[in-house]
Structure 1
Amino acid sequence: MSTCERCGAAFHCAMADAPAGQKPTGAPGETPCWCTFLPPAIPVPGTEAVGCWCPACLRAHIATLETPPDVA
């Protein structure tokens, strides 16, 4: 199980929680993580990356990105 870097909830991440001795490669036929089905919203592994977020936190963050600003 992984721990959400935002709220601390436990959740399953297919990328981080791969079976022992097996790293996900992105090869055809591998099960992708649930997050790959959502719009890209935060940096992933790299210098500005954030840790994994649970489904609720990632969906809430995406909702704030998709909300148009108020027009005065």
Structure 2
Amino acid sequence: MSTCTRCGAEFGCAMVDGTDDGAPCWCTKLPPVAALPLAGKAAGCWCPACLEQHIAQRTAGAPDTPPGT
């Protein structure tokens, strides 16, 4: 299990967890996005909700805010 460095949610990351018999992680199916901002936190994976919202906000030009804020 991985922990989202943006919102703290737990989620599965095939690359980190070594699951899915070598299949690529769910995030590889999403469109590429610019480097994620660190905002004072250690670099790490984001959960599906945070990454999808980040991509949507970048596409729309909206400010980047975590889900639920």
The runs of at least 4 consecutive aligned structure 1 residues that moved more than 2 Å come to none
Question: 1:13–1:34: 8 Å Cα contact kept in structure 2?
Answer: yes
Structure 2 counterpart SS, 1:52: coil
Partners of 2:61 and 2:46 in 1: how far apart? 23
Q: What runs of 5+ residues in structure 2 fail to find an aligned partner?
A: 37-41, 63-69
CA RMSD across the alignment: 2.5
Change in 2 beyond 3 A, CA 1:3/1:42 = farther
Higher helix share: 2
Aligned to 1:9: 9
Distance 1:42 1:68, change over 3 A: closer
The aligned amino acid for 2:15 is: M
The alpha carbon displacement at 1:50 in A equals: 3.0
Distance, in Å, in 2 between the alignment partners of 1:36 and 1:65 is 17
Are residue 59 (structure 1) and residue 18 (structure 2) matched?
no
TM-score, structure 1 length as denominator? Answer: 0.66
Q: Which has the larger radius of gyration?
A: 1
Is 1:31 matched up with 2:23?
A: yes
Q: How many residues align?
A: 56
The sequence identity of aligned pairs, in percent, is: 59
Counterpart code for 2:50: C
In structure 1, list runs of 5 or more residues that go unmatched: 20-28
Aligned residue type for 1:14: A
**CA distance in 1: counterparts of 2:6 and 2:13, whole angstroms:** 14
